[in-house]
């Protein structure tokens, strides 16, 4: 299962390279349901993987002239503060509650994907030179808190915020979002350090494979129809979000029903992740 998880890491990079987001939406389910990490470990490590991979992708977009550094630093600083707060607030939530919230976020992301980019064209035509900090402060903090709490980089929210509120052209928004995701993820990861066990070697290998994927995705973006890709990805999000909500449905049920669901027999979770953690802690 660990080898399968590493193979799927390439999909994370492809998603980031092609869409400017979606990496965390894939990383957490892979870590939990394929490799076998607990919810909190998966969320914490996904921030490191997606942050490092996004930074590499941002460099590629910067070289191509599709990254607004000033906008990224302003918006990124706002989201970083929220991300650190969200990671500290995660201690108040159970792992199941975090996964259930994550599934809701997946369904919201699917909604944005299904909408496509028709609504952003007018904003692109009205692109201005100044970033309205007052307008982006609230969504910036919200994206940051969400990142720290459930381990999503927030690209599917950052791109529309940059285009519609910051009036950043779409291509620039995709590249800029990758740098914001990297900053956002770094702050969230810092909030988990010392509170969650990390499989550092596995994270490094997983990140390296995802990095290969993002380079391929950045190259493929010129050939793949974005609308068709987003629609297909949205369908995947709906399926995965529904699956995760079902697995963690006890969070939304009243006491007796929740207890019955929690004690119901379940398939055994894969154990390689536990062995990875124990091996690295013993070194």
Q: What digits encode the pLDDT tens for the residues 157-167?
A: 677 677 767 77
pLDDT for res 92: 86
Domain locations in the chain? 2-282
pLDDT band at 276 (very low <50, low <70, confident <90, very high): low
Give the DSSP letter string of 95-149.
Answer: HHHHHHHHHHHHHHHHHHHHHTTGGGHHHHHT--SS--HHHHHHHHHHHHHHHHH
Neighbours of 172 (CB within 10 A): 21
Distances (CA, A) of 269 to 26, 33, 91, 202: 18, 8, 23, 18
Closest by CA to 187, choosing from 58, 85, 55, is 85
Quote the mean pLDDT of the chain: 76
Q: What digits encode the pLDDT tens for the residues 187-241?
A: 889 888 888 888 898 899 999 998 888 888 777 767 777 677 677 777 877 888 8
Whether 63 has a pLDDT exceeding 50, the answer reads: yes
pLDDT for res 258: 47
Neighbours of 247 (CB within 10 A): 16
Q: What digits encode the pLDDT tens for the residues 173-188?
A: 778 888 988 888 888 8
Local structure of residue 90 (DSSP, 8 states):
G
Does the pTM of the predicted model rise above 0.85?
Answer: no
**Spatial distance between the Cα atoms of 143 and 86, rounded to a whole number of angstroms:** 10
**Spatial distance between the Cα atoms of 232 and 278, rounded to a whole number of angstroms:** 38
Report the b/e string of 74-98 with b at 16+ CB within 10 A: bbbebbbbbbbbbbeebeebebbbb
Closest by CA to 150, choosing from 73, 221, 95, 198, is 95
Tokens of 210: 């995802």
Whether 38 has a pLDDT exceeding 70, the answer reads: yes
Neighbours of 282 (CB within 10 A): 6
Say how far residue 54 (Cα) sits from the centre of its chain. Answer: 10
The mean pLDDT of 37-55, rounded to a whole number, is: 87
Burial class (CB in 10 A: 0-12, 13-18, 19+), 207: buried
């Amino acid at each position: 299962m660990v080898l399968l998880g590493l193979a799927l890491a390439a999909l994370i990079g492809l998603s980031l390279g092609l869409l400017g987001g979606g990496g965390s939406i894939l990383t957490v389910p892979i870590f939990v349901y394929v490799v076998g990490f607990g919810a909190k470990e998966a969320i914490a490590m996904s921030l490191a993987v997606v942050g490092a991979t996004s930074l590499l992708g941002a460099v590629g977009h910067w070289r191509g002239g599709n990254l607004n550094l000033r906008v990224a630093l302003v918006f990124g600083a706002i989201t970083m503060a929220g991300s650190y707060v969200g990671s500290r607030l995660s201690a108040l939530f159970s792992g199941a509650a975090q996964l259930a919230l994550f599934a809701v976020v997946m369904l919201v992301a699917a909604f944005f994907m299904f909408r496509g980019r028709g609504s952003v064209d007018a904003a692109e035509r009205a692109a201005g030179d100044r970033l309205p900090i007052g307008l982006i402060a609230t969504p910036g903090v919200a994206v940051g808190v969400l990142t720290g709490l459930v381990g999503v980089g927030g690209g599917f929210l950052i791109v529309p915020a940059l285009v519609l509120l910051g009036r950043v052209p779409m291509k620039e928004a995709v590249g800029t979002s990758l740098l914001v995701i990297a900053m956002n993820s770094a702050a969230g990861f810092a909030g988990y350090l010392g509170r969650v066990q990390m499989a550092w070697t596995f994270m490094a290998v997983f990140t390296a494979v995802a990095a290969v994927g993002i380079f391929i995705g950045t190259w493929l973006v010129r050939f793949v129809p974005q609308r068709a890709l987003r629609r297909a990805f949205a369908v995947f999000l709906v399926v995965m979000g529904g699956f995760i909500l079902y697995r963690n449905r006890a969070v939304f049920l009243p006491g007796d029903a929740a207890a019955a669901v929690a004690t119901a027999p379940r398939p055994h979770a894969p154990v390689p992740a536990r062995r990875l953690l124990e091996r690295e802690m013993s070194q």
